[in-house]
């Protein structure tokens, strides 16, 4: 029986169609000129690449899994940071992985069975002179976002110190007051912090986020551990004071590393969407701040961070997909208005209604608002990727 | 891309041959089926049911095995934006019912962006998917369409015994997805919900299985969760005269844009399964007015024998629901069983998701339910916990037509 569901439009046609809609006529130039196409043939015991040296710029890995196991393919920096990845590539199927790559050495890893370090191939990226030219406005957007992420980290440290000082002094009320606001900078730029992998589990993990074998009493650190002490246990002991100092230290590490984060226009766009996903899965349900019920402060900060990414990308996105940016403007404004209903302090304050006092109907309304924004936001990456 | 290659006209042109296709000829509800370019009878559970026609598919269409029904709240007050959504939905529905993926598909597009289609129906056959839209009473006020609200679309009265949960009731609009494969039905609602984000939001939804009524007279009447055959006397999807009389809104019914449409009642009816199962066989049969094995009415031998109402107990379900007890009120039933796991007390959260189509709510569901809710012996074992009504507009005529055009443009 032949398959009934066949994609009617191929990838190439899809791009052409988008281009026609957006009026982006330079797309074809970028395709033929600046793109390095590398074939990757993955089997159960090999990972063959068609060339091991290519020029900096837009790289496209055309992956084919000729093995019997489901595999995944990574493009990695020498320190194993991920440049790009494709997971769940079934036997006999093809996938494409595209990335923006600078000169240097990299690893391509195939992981048959999606386990282990994978079968590696060293590749070298040379030059840079011939790199695909990215819209200079996007370079500017990335630079501005990097500065924003840095500023958020810079401001978070003193805000957190107010909080941790209160904990160290054993001042329960002052600590409670400073808790939620100490997290704002972090929540605005969380996808950047998460990209490092190791900081997030130290400062922002929740009780149920610990892994098997980890000891809640010993291994649980960060904001939410202190949140539980303040609101549930209602006391500050020696352990809490030590944890406060640890939090300062871990955030200092974050502050130092923000500048080195890998940021691209598409990672900014998808980071904005991820911030809304954070809201949809953790904040709207009240899981994130289950003891303090300050979820709406995180919510607000997540939306602000998403909006920042969006505003920076907007000049380019508005050219490629004006209908999308119009919709995003509308939905950001609508969600802001919804949040405003729950703001208890004056304009600009971060005093929001305690989330345990937000009823079911209001939670549904907030959730609908998040979906209304997150769905078009998931299309922002396409609107900036189209104009490399 | 191939849309419907077999037009409604060409099917009807076959004349008597249409009858051989079972439900295919029913009142223009074209159940002509298509998989790729092959024409197959609609009875093939994998086939496609034509999307275009005088009536929406999913009403007279032979009942499929599975249901995903969703009610939506409208989130926009921009009429143009809502009309655009209806057009986008129509386009997606036409593709999905033909077995195609939404938009540019589920893969092969830009790697950095989410695909248009969610992909879980890839490789599955059309599975007789039908998508049927309805407009709730609350929709009309939202877009200044109060004068277009049909008189026949009344709000239901409160019936004795109702215990309605507002989170499972109402809705500005609904989409009924029926298919022989549950994944195809779920995929359809999921993708429409996704296209709708920001414009509409899912208010509640219900999954159903094991059709509890048949619209094809020769098919075996399915059993409900109480183990009884239910809906034997249902309006048949092939009985054009009965459909015209009881189901389709006629040109003289007072609301032009509804001509060829119908009115839908959706009720979530929870069954007290455990107490029912402890009830003696005699009482079970008395409650329904039919025997459990054959489904024959009291005192008769065969399921389809004419019921002799006076032989049944006065509070028997069949007796009270019968048209003769209700001044001839007749509805087309398309109900499904549901089981949403257990309810926390260990009771099966199960029952009947009742769907009824009729020409006028005031002459269909309301009189029947009035008599049932007052006296039905079955009430001891059931409770109505969700409720909604919708005006279901006529079919989408062709590629340029869209769901709700008559309501929003005033053109017939």
Rounded distance, CA B96 to CA B51, Å? Answer: 10
Around Cβ B9, how many Cβ atoms within 10 Å? Answer: 9
Q: Is B288's pLDDT higher than 70? A: yes
For residues B161-169, average pLDDT: 95
Q: Is B269's pLDDT higher than 60? A: yes
CB contact under 8 A, A6 and B124: no
Q: Give contacts of A86 with chain B, Cβ < 8 Å.
A: 111
- Range from B169-178, B213-222, B356-365, B388-397 carrying the lowest mean pLDDT: B213-222
Give the tokens for residue A342.
Answer: 């729950």
Q: What are A314-365's pLDDT values in tens digits? A: 999 999 999 999 999 999 999 999 999 999 988 889 999 999 999 999 999 9
Q: Is A378 an 8 Å CB contact of chain B?
A: yes
In whole angstroms, how far apart are CA B59 and each of A347, B53, B235, B412? Answer: 53, 12, 11, 20
Quote the pLDDT of residue A12.
32
Quote the pLDDT of residue B39.
37
| N-term to C-term CA, chain A | 41
CB contact under 8 A, A5 and B121: yes
- H/E element holding A94? strand A94-101
- Range from A88-92, A185-189, B303-307, B340-344 carrying the lowest mean pLDDT: A88-92
Quote the pLDDT of residue B412.
65
Rounded distance, CA B40 to CA B65, Å? Answer: 18
Give the tokens for residue A136.
Answer: 């200079």
CA distance B107 to chain A (A): 8
Residue in B37, B98, B103, B112 to test binding to A, most A beta-carbons within 10 Å:
B112
Q: Is B362's pLDDT higher than 90? A: yes
Quote the pLDDT of residue B182.
96
CA distance B175 to chain A (A): 18
In three state form, how does the secondary structure of chain B look? Answer: CCCCCCCHHHHHCCHHHHHHHHHHHHHHCCCCEEECCEEECCCCCCCCECCECCCCCCCCCCCCCEEEEEEEEECCCCHHHHHHHHHHHHHHHHHHHCCCCCCCCCCCCCCCCCCCCCCCCCCCCCCCCEEEEEECHHHHHHCCCHHHCCCCCCCCCCCCCCCCCHHHCCCCEEEEEEECCHHHHHHHHHHHHHHHCCCEEEEEEEEEECCCCCCCCCCCCCECCCCCECCCCCCCCCCHHHHHHHCCCCCCCCCHHHCCCEEEEEEEEEECHHHHHCCCHHHHHHHHCECCCCCCECCCCCCCCCCCHHHCCCCCHHHHHCHHHCCCCCCEECCEEEEEEECCCCCEEEEEEEEEEECCCCCCHHHHHHHHHHHCHHHHCEEEEEEEEEEECCCECCCCCCCCHHHHHCCC
For residues B278-296, average pLDDT: 95
CB contact under 8 A, A385 and B106: no
Q: Nearest to residue B246, comparing CAs of B364, B367, B392?
A: B364
Rounded distance, CA B242 to CA A25, Å? Answer: 59
Around Cβ A56, how many Cβ atoms within 10 Å? Answer: 20
Rounded distance, CA A374 to CA A316, Å? Answer: 19
pLDDT band, very low/low/confident/very high, at B174 (cuts 50, 70, 90): very high
Q: What are B184-208's pLDDT values in tens digits? A: 999 999 999 999 999 999 999 999 9
CB contact under 8 A, B99 and A368: no
Q: Is B362 an 8 Å CB contact of chain A?
A: no
Quote the pLDDT of residue A87.
79
Q: Is B29's pLDDT higher than 70? A: no
CB contact under 8 A, A368 and B105: no
Residue of B nearest to A383 (CA): B113
- Cα four-point dihedral sign B50, B51, B54, B59: positive
Q: Give contacts of B104 with chain A, Cβ < 8 Å.
A: 7-9, 14, 17
Interface of B with A in 96-135 (CB under 8 A): 99-101, 104-114, 121-126
Per DSSP bridges, beta strands B382-392 and B348-358 are unpaired
User: Within chain A, where are the H helices?
Assistant: 11-22, 27-33, 136-169, 172-182, 184-188, 190-194, 200-203, 216-219, 223-228, 238-257, 265-278, 295-320, 322-340, 360-377, 380-385
Quote the pLDDT of residue B106.
92
Quote the pLDDT of residue A368.
95
Quote the pLDDT of residue A21.
33
Quote the pLDDT of residue B219.
66
For residues B349-358, average pLDDT: 97
Q: Is B313's pLDDT higher than 70? A: yes
Quote the pLDDT of residue B34.
29
Q: What are B37-78's pLDDT values in tens digits? A: 333 445 577 899 999 999 999 999 999 999 999 999 999 999
Question: Which of A14, A17, A266 minimises the CB distance to B112?
Answer: A266
Residue of A nearest to B184 (CA): A5
CB contact under 8 A, A5 and B104: no
Q: Is A361 an 8 Å CB contact of chain B?
A: no
Give the tokens for residue A24.
Answer: 């982006």
CB contact under 8 A, B110 and A385: yes
Quote the pLDDT of residue A274.
93
- The 8-class DSSP code of residue A4 comes to S
Q: What is the ipTM of this complex?
A: 0.78
Rounded distance, CA B85 to CA B93, Å? Answer: 12
Distance, C-alpha B125 to centroid of its chain: 21
Walk me through the domains of chain A, giving residue ranges and CATH numbers: 37-126 (2.60.40.420), 136-385 (1.20.1420.20)
Q: Is B5's pLDDT higher than 70? A: no
Q: What are B238-260's pLDDT values in tens digits? A: 899 999 999 999 999 989 999 99
For residues B278-287, average pLDDT: 95
The low-confidence residues of chain A, meaning pLDDT below 70, are 1-35, 79, 128-133, 386-388
For residues B69-89, average pLDDT: 96
- Range from A137-146, B11-20, B96-105, B254-263 carrying the lowest mean pLDDT: B11-20
Q: Nearest to residue B173, comparing CAs of B207, B205, B211?
A: B205
């Amino acid at each position: 029986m032949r398959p009934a569901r066949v994609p009617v439009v191929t990838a190439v046609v899809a791009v052409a169609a988008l281009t026609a809609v957006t009026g982006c006529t330079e797309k074809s130039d970028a395709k033929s000129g600046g793109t390095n196409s590398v074939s990757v043939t993955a089997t159960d015991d090999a990972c063959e690449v068609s060339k091991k040296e290519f020029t900096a710029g837009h790289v496209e890995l055309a992956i084919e899994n000729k093995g019997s196991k489901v595999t995944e393919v990574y493009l990695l920096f020498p320190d194993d940071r991920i440049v790009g990845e494709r997971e769940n590539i079934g036997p006999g199927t093809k996938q494409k992985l595209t990335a923006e790559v600078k000169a240097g050495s990299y690893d391509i890893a195939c992981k048959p069975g999606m386990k282990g370090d994978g079968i590696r191939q060293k590749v070298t990226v040379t030059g840079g002179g011939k790199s695909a030219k990215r819209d200079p406005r996007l370079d500017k957007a990335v630079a501005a976002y990097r500065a924003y992420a840095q500023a958020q980290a810079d401001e978070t440290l003193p805000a957190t110190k107010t909080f941790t000082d209160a904990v160290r002094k054993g001042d329960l009320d002052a600590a409670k007051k400073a808790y939620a606001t100490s997290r704002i900078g972090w929540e605005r730029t969380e996808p950047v912090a998460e990209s490092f992998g190791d900081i997030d589990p130290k400062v922002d993990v929740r009780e149920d986020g610990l892994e098997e074998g980890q000891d809640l009493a010993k291994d649980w650190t960060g904001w939410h551990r202190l949140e539980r002490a303040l609101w549930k246990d209602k006391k500050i002991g020696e352990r809490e004071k030590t944890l406060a100092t640890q939090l300062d230290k871990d955030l200092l590490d974050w502050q130092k590393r923000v500048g080195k984060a890998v940021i691209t226009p598409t990672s900014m766009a998808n980071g904005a969407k991820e911030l809304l996903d954070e809201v949809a899965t953790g904040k709207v349900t009240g899981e994130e701040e289950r003891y303090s019920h300050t979820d709406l402060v995180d919510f607000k900060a997540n939306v602000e961070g998403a909006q920042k990414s969006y505003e920076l990308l907007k000049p380019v996105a508005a050219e490629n997909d004006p209908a999308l940016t119009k919709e995003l403007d509308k939905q950001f404004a609508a969600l802001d208005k919804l949040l405003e209903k729950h703001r208890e302090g004056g304009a600009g304050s971060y005093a929001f209604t305690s989330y345990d006092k937000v009823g079911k109907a209001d939670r549904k309304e907030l959730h609908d608002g998040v979906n209304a924004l997150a769905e078009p936001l998931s299309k922002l990456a396409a609107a900036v990727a189209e104009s490399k | 891309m191939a849309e419907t290659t077999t037009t409604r006209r060409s099917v009807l042109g076959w004349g008597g041959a249409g009858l051989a296709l079972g439900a295919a000829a029913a009142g223009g509800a074209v159940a002509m089926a298509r998989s790729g370019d092959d024409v197959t009878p609609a009875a093939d559970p994998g086939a496609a049911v034509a999307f275009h026609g005088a009536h929406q598919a999913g009403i007279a269409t032979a009942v499929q095995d599975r249901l995903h029904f969703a009610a939506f709240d409208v989130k926009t007050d921009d009429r143009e934006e809502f009309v655009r959504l209806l057009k986008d939905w129509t386009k997606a529905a036409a593709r999905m019912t033909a077995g195609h993926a939404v938009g540019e598909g589920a893969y092969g597009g830009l790697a950095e962006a989410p695909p248009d289609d969610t992909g879980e129906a890839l490789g599955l056959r059309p599975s007789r998917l039908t998508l049927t839209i309805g407009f709730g009473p609350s929709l009309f006020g939202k877009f200044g369409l109060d004068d277009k609200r049909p008189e026949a679309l009344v709000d239901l009265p409160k019936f004795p015994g109702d215990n309605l949960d507002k989170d499972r009731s109402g809705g500005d609009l609904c989409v009924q997805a029926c298919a022989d494969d549950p994944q195809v039905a779920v995929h359809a609602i999921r993708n429409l919900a996704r296209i709708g984000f920001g414009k509409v939001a899912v208010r509640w939804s219900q999954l159903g299985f094991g059709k509890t009524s048949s619209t094809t007279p020769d098919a075996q009447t399915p059993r409900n969760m109480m183990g009884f055959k239910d809906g034997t006397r249902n309006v048949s999807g092939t009985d054009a005269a009965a459909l015209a009389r009881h189901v389709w809104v006629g040109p003289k019914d007072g609301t032009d844009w509804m001509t060829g449409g119908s009115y839908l009642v959706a009720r979530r009816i929870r069954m007290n399964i455990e107490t029912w199962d402890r009830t003696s066989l005699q009482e079970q049969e008395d409650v329904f007015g039919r025997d459990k094995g054959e489904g024959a009415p009291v005192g008769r031998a065969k399921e389809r024998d004419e019921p002799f109402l006076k032989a049944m107990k006065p509070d028997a379900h069949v007796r009270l629901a019968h048209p003769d007890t209700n001044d001839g009120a007749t509805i087309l039933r398309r109900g499904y069983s549901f089981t949403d796991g257990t309810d926390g007390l260990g009771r099966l959260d199960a029952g009947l998701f009742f769907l009824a189509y009729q020409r006028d709510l005031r002459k269909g569901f309301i009189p029947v339910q009035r008599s049932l809710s007052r006296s039905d012996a079955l009430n001891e074992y059931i409770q109505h916990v969700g409720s909604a009504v919708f005006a279901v507009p006529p079919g989408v005529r062709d590629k340029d037509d869209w769901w709700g055009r008559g309501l929003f443009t005033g053109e017939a």
